[in-house]
Amino acid sequence: MAALISFCRIWVVVVFAMQVGCGRSDPYATVPVKGVVTCNGKPLANGVINFTPVADQEGRGEGNRGRAALGKTDEEGRFVLTTYKNNDGAIVGRHMVTISMGFSEEGGSIVDKNFPCRGSTMEATVKAGMGEIKIDFGTKK
């Protein structure tokens, strides 16, 4: 009886894994996106950049704008976006772009309370062959 219960548990896990991994296709095409982001003209080191697709774009299902793409910046403000798979880029189309400083490694608390570009947004269009992009939030001083 114990062997049957173990077999059933294993079978449930296998079936679940197959449903999650098989037949799933990413609904919208992505293109590689990399670049440099600055805040007031200075590289945004160790920040997070977010490209969220704008709603109501041609070819999108109603109410399904698509998954956002995220990237973490290095010390020079360089980033590579990820949507479905590591470094696959962003969905083709228009996006609202935001940045944040995220969480501290030590305390886990939000560290962007005094971040000068906090709450800044801009629109960017992702298209094939766009090359490296440069994004500056704020005004250069």
Tell me the pTM.
0.73
Long-range (24+ apart) CB contacts under 8 A made by 83-88 are: 83/26, 83/30, 84/26, 84/30, 87/32, 88/30, 88/32
Q: What is the pLDDT of residues 77-130, one digit of tens each?
A: 999 999 999 999 999 999 999 988 865 556 554 556 667 787 889 999 999 999
Question: Which residues neighbour 99 within 8 Å (Cβ) at sequence distance 6 or greater?
Answer: 37, 39, 44, 47, 48, 49, 50, 117, 120, 137
Q: What is the pLDDT of residues 41-67, one digit of tens each?
A: 999 988 899 999 998 777 776 678 889
Q: Which helix (H) or strand (E) holds 37?
A: strand 34-39
